[in-house]
Structure 1
Amino acid sequence: MRKVLFRLLFCLPAAALLVPGQASAQGAFNMGMLTNTLSQGGSTQSEGVRARTSSVFRSMARAPRSGAVNRAAITYRPSTAVRQRNMQQFVARLRRVDPTSAADLQRTFARRDVVAEVGGAMRPVGLNPNNVADAMAMYLVAAYYGVRGSVDSKPSDYKAVSAQLARAVSAAPGFASASDALKQEIAESMLVQAVLVDQAIQAAQKQPSAMPAVKAAIAKGARAAFGFDVTRMQLGPNGLS
């Protein structure tokens, strides 16, 4: 599997995901919308999601590489009704801080099932959109490369971080008893934000003056969601450290 597969994965929603009318008509991204959305991080998540992601960060340092994985804690049965609610709530929380960006995303979510599109590209390369660890890995790897101005991730990066997160989620309090709906909210929030990160970096590569703001927004969002500084982390065969 080549890194181009993952570049293709995030290109699925393409420009239309972010600025449906403007992007297709003008071939340009609304960089203000991208940076504002990315920087929100935890603000676009419910309190339940923020509590779980912050507990994962604390567990990452404690969970040994030989730690057991609780498959029931990291997987869930998806619901179309829950997905629709998740997208509506994502937009509603974003609207509090950036009404324009929220309106752009709302139009997109009304026209297409972004999570299903991303999930369809994840499965052929061994990742499961109904796995919280896989979904978190999608976001964190995108953020890791994003703060470095790159989209050159490799499939092995996602596999390593997912394995690390699976152990952390299994050790984190609250996941074993979490409902399918909450785990679906966590996973889908991660997948949407991963797409936004990748699209922002690709846009900034064509508009270099925007790159510093995009990198800063990604770092701020990851810190808000997980509680750590992704700019200071290293990514290797054992995940993030």
Structure 2
Amino acid sequence: MPVSKITLRKVVLGAVGALLLAPAPAWAQGAFNMGMLTNTLSQGGSTQSESARASSLPVFRSLSRTPRTTAINRDAIHYSPSMAVRKRNMAQFVSRLRRVDPTSATELERSFARSDPIAEMGGLMRPVGLNPNNVADAMATYLVTAYYGVRGSTDGEPAEFKAVSAQMARAISANGTFAGASDALKQEIAESMMIQAVLANQAVQAAQKKPSAMPAIKAAIAKGSRAAFGFDVTRMRLGPNGLS
């Protein structure tokens, strides 16, 4: 299949799953139910620390205002991942979910213990030109997923991810605070974005099989994206130059 035809489901999930299709992938087995998905997705930015939200929100809010001529600071958008930071990030993700859904948090914790979701994501992103160690690529994965998710779809082309990633890279480069963020902070933001993207895609797939659940899933994704991005993705348009 040509790369240009690879859909969002294959970009984001691929071997990580058509998550509702048996057999479920390692980290998804037993973890996903509609309540967990709805609760998690609606949390949005609260799945990250205060410092991560304080750093990422200004970037999202300036997305449409950053000129396309802005030079990209490659050092600002890349980070060197740490397994210790990843374990902490997964534990914090579970801890924040536990506040609203203890049962699902326990299920997700067990799933994370079975395999490394970020490593699996990396194996799927790289073949289509996306890098899990590039925070702009991770943000774009979340944004494009949310854009289609609030429309009840799992569509999306690699070119759309790359266009939004370029937007994010310019916005990050123009934001001095974020550009100077530590690797650990960028890793937290990126990994949260990737997990949220998988969960949103999983939720839409589930709702496509149970249409009565779709309104709640769309609303949860919209609420979570507003909390994380600071803007309403339902009102945005996605084109060759990214989101506007």
For normalisation by structure 2, the TM-score amounts to: 0.92
Alignment deviations for residues 107-166 of structure 1 (CA, whole Å, 9 cap, x no partner): 111001001101111011111000000000000000000000000111111010000100
Shift in alpha-carbon separation, 1:115–1:19, aligned structure 2, 3 A: closer
> How many aligned residue pairs are there?
235
Q: Work out which of the residue numbers 23, 26, 29 in structure 2 matches 1:20.
A: 29
Q: Determine if the alignment matches structure 1 residue 177 to structure 2 residue 180.
A: yes
Q: How does 1:19-38 map to 2 (within 5 A)?
A: 20-21=29-30, 30-38=33-41
Q: Work out which of the residue numbers 57, 60, 64 in structure 1 matches 2:63.
A: 60
Paired residue type of 1:194: A
Structure 1 stretches of at least 4 aligned residues deviating more than 4 Å after TM superposition: 15-19
- Contact 1:59–1:169, Cα closer than 8 Å, also in 2: no
- Contact 2:64–2:243, Cα closer than 8 Å, also in 1: no
For structure 1, the residue ranges without an aligned partner over 5 or more in a row are 24-28
Deviates more, 1:91-100 or 1:209-218: 91-100
Alignment deviations for residues 5-64 of structure 1 (CA, whole Å, 9 cap, x no partner): 53223141424468633x7xxxxx521111111001111111111112211123213210
Paired residue type of 1:6: L
- Contact 1:19–1:104, Cα closer than 8 Å, also in 2: no
For structure 2, the residue ranges without an aligned partner over 5 or more in a row are none
Q: How does 1:137-216 map to 2 (within 5 A)?
A: 137-216=140-219
Q: Determine if the alignment matches structure 1 residue 44 to structure 2 residue 47.
A: yes
- Contact 1:31–1:200, Cα closer than 8 Å, also in 2: yes
Q: How does 1:73-84 map to 2 (within 5 A)?
A: 73-84=76-87
In the aligned structure 1, how far is the partner of 2:161 from the partner of 2:205?
A: 19
- Contact 1:68–1:167, Cα closer than 8 Å, also in 2: yes
Paired residue type of 1:69: I
Deviates more, 1:169-178 or 1:201-210: 169-178
SS of residue in 2 equivalent to 1:151: coil
Q: Determine if the alignment matches structure 1 residue 239 to structure 2 residue 242.
A: yes
SS of residue in 2 equivalent to 1:128: coil
In the aligned structure 1, how far is the partner of 2:157 from the partner of 2:180?
A: 33
Q: Determine if the alignment matches structure 1 residue 136 to structure 2 residue 139.
A: yes
Shift of 1:97: 1.8
- Contact 1:35–1:200, Cα closer than 8 Å, also in 2: yes
In the aligned structure 2, how far is the partner of 1:3 from the partner of 1:224?
A: 31
In the aligned structure 1, how far is the partner of 2:61 from the partner of 2:42?
A: 22
Shift of 1:173: 3.2
Residue 116 of structure 1 corresponds to which residue in structure 2?
A: 119
- Contact 2:94–2:106, Cα closer than 8 Å, also in 1: yes
SS of residue in 2 equivalent to 1:205: helix
- Contact 1:74–1:131, Cα closer than 8 Å, also in 2: yes
In the aligned structure 1, how far is the partner of 2:237 from the partner of 2:112?
A: 34
- Contact 1:95–1:102, Cα closer than 8 Å, also in 2: yes
For normalisation by structure 1, the TM-score amounts to: 0.93
